[in-house]
Amino acid sequence: MSGRIPLPPYPNGWYCVALSDELAPGQVLARRQFGQELVIFRTESGRVGVADAYCPHIGAHLGHGGTIEGETLQCPFHGWRFEAGGRCVEMPYGGRIPPKARLGSLPVREQNGVVLAFRDSEGREPAWEMPLFDDSAWSPCIHRTWEVETHPQEVLENSADCAHFRFVHGTHMVRPIEGPTAEGPIYRTRLVSDPELLSPEWRLPDDGSIMDQEAMCHGPGLVMAITTTRGSGVTGIARLYVTPIDGERSHLRGVCNLVELDDPRRTDAVAAEMSKLVFEQWENDIPIWEHKRYRPDPALNDSDAPFVAFRRWVKQFYPESPGAA
Ligand code: FES
Ligand SMILES: [Fe+2]
């Protein structure tokens, strides 16, 4: 990554590479992630494949002109066909499928409205899974995507940053009432708004907007918050997936859901309003992320303790190669 963020660019883990809504059966997407050209496709029966975009035959880009034929992705150059796992299963000429005719595919899961792919610097299989949420009482996903000059760790670190809420998001400062705890790939904190944490001249007037929040990171690719504004009966789930594009930029894919209210029309209205607010809040973070530099050894005060736990937790996702963070 650039001198501004001297971290290895691709921590190991699960990343969102597409939203389920973007990928109808028969659809093929070309996408650059992890400094690599990927083809992302959905077969007619609904299976999703994520693979190296370049055909092992003569190297055509399968994301430009590749088509779905039944359960296979067909190359636009000579018609070889690959199944979702990457194996070549059919050739329109020649007698034998060469063993090398295989797309380098990534492990894939599709859950809770997103397509996730596992990226490991050594190509190892995933040793852990992303959480599968019971979304049966959630409103439909509302999403927005941004391309931002930053690194996943910088975006995730927001979940350890209690003081920025007041200054970047214009809300009360928060404090942990539980955690932070680090259990394997999950970093979790329970937070509550506490206006009194700030010196009196910085406090916002008490407008009743006290929030209780569970903030979590799941691996290096997802930071999320489940938030209830006290007394409102409204609980929102905001997921922010961050996926490196190359050594300089990342995709941010924000997905919002609301726990359904009794009245479906009210659910839709509140979900629309809430997602607009959450998207605006993430957009407030973007200029900070795009211009800040990564401090390996930040000057922290006693309220900044969660940063220490976060930095210790996030190390596990870096390649074990020499020189890694
Ligand atoms: S380049 Fe893909 S089939 Fe020849
Ligand atoms: Fe933020």
Q: What is the DSSP string of 36-89?
A: EEEEEEE-TTS-EEEEESB-TTT--BTTTT-EEETTEEEPTTT--EEETTSBEE
Evaluate whether residue 7 is within a structural domain: no
Residue nearest to atom 1 of ligand 1 (CA): 58
Query: What's the average model confidence in pLDDT over 310-319?
Result: 94
Q: Please tell me whether residues 199 and 260 are part of one structural domain.
A: yes
Number of domains in the chain: 2
Residue 62 alpha carbon to ligand 1 centre in Å: 9
Domain end point (choices 63, 98, 114): 114
Q: Tell me the CA–centroid distance for residue 69 and ligand 1, in Å.
A: 15
For residues 222 and 239, is the Cβ–Cβ distance under 8 A?
A: yes
- Residue 128 inside a domain? The answer is no
Residues 170 and 308 in one domain: yes
What is the per-residue pLDDT across 30-46, written as a single tens digit (0 to 9) for each? 999 999 999 999 999 99
Indicate the residue among 114, 134, 152 that finishes a domain. Answer: 114
Q: How many angstroms does the Cα of residue 267 sit away from the middle of ligand 2?
A: 25
170 within a domain of the structure (yes/no): yes
Same domain, 110 and 146: no
Mean pLDDT of 299-313: 94
- How many angstroms does the Cα of residue 45 sit away from the middle of ligand 2? 39
The domain that contains 196 carries what CATH number?
3.90.380.10
Please give the backbone phi and psi of residue 312, each rounded to the nearest 5 degrees, phi first.
Answer: -65, -45
Which domain CATH number covers 63? 2.102.10.10
Residues with CB under 6 A from ligand 1: 55, 57-60, 75, 77-78, 80
- The residue written with tokens 């990343």 in the block is 15
Nearest CA, atom 3, ligand 1: 78
Question: Which atom from ligand 1 is nearest to the alpha carbon of 62?
Answer: 2
Ligand 1 centroid, distance to 53 Cα (angstroms): 11
- Structural domain containing residue 38: 21-114
Give domain status of residue 8, yes or no.
Answer: no
- In the numeric block, the tokens 């005060």 are attached to 301
Give the pLDDT score at 324.
Answer: 43
> For the chain, what percent of residues have pLDDT higher than 90?
85
Name the residue of 78, 81, 102, 103 to mutate for ligand 1: max ligand atoms within 8 A of Cβ.
Answer: 78
Give pLDDT, residue 319.
75
Q: What is the mean pLDDT of residues 109-118?
A: 98
**197 or 118, higher pLDDT:** 118
Pocket mutation for ligand 1, best pick of 39, 74, 77, 93 (most atoms within 8 Å of C-beta): 77
Residue 56 scores a pLDDT above 50 = yes
* pLDDT of res. 108: 98
Residue 239, CA distances (Å) to 31, 225, 320 in order? 21, 7, 28
Mean pLDDT throughout 212-236?
94
Residue 323, pLDDT > 90, answer no
Q: What is the per-residue pLDDT for 173?
A: 85
Q: How far is the CA of 169 from the centre of ligand 2 (A)?
A: 7
pTM of the model: 0.95
Q: Which atom of ligand 1 is nearest to the CA of 78?
A: 3
- Residues 175 and 286 grouped into a single domain: yes
- Same domain, yes or no, for 26 and 79? yes
- DSSP for 102-147? B--BPPEEEETTEEEEEE-TT-PPPSS-------TTBPPPEEEEEE
Is 228 in contact with 255 (CB distance < 8 Å)?
A: no
Contacts of 270 (CB under 8 A, 6+ apart): 234, 258, 261
Verify that 51 and 172 share a domain, yes or no.
Answer: no
Q: How confident is the model at residue 230 (pLDDT cuts 50, 70, 90)?
A: confident
Report if residue 324 sits inside a domain.
no
Residues 47 and 100 reside in one and the same domain: yes
Closest-CA residue to 13 (of 186, 155, 146): 186
Q: Nearest ligand, CA of residue 286? A: 2
**194 and 89 part of one domain:** no
pLDDT tier at 1, thresholds 50, 70, 90? low
Given a cut of 80, whether residue 2 has pLDDT beyond it is: no
Last residue of a domain, one of 114, 129, 151: 114
Determine the pLDDT at residue 325: 42
CA of 284, nearest ligand number: 2
For the stretch 58-105, pLDDT in tens is 999 999 999 999 999 999 999 999 999 999 999 999 989 999 999 999
Cα–Cα distances in angstroms (integers) from residue 257 to residues 155, 192, 225, in the given order: 20, 20, 11
Atom of ligand 1 at shortest distance to CA of 91?
3
Best probe residue, ligand 1, of 28, 54, 55, 67 (max atoms within 8 Å of C-beta)? 55
Span 241-266, pLDDT tens digits? 999 999 999 999 999 999 999 999 99
Q: Is residue 4 part of a domain?
A: no
Same domain, yes or no, for 101 and 218?
no
pLDDT tens track for 120-148: 999 999 999 999 999 999 999 999 999 99
Q: Please tell me the total number of residues recorded for the chain in this structure.
A: 325
Question: What is the C-alpha separation between 25 and 42, in angstroms, rounded?
Answer: 5
Average of per-residue pLDDT values in the chain: 94
Asked if 67 and 176 sit in the same domain, the reply is no
* Residue 192 sits in the same domain as residue 55: no
Q: Confirm whether 121 is domain-assigned.
A: no
Task: Name the residue of 75, 88, 102 to mutate for ligand 1: max ligand atoms within 8 A of Cβ.
Answer: 75
307 belongs to a structural domain: yes
Which pLDDT belongs to residue 194? 86
Both 68 and 201 in one domain: the answer is no
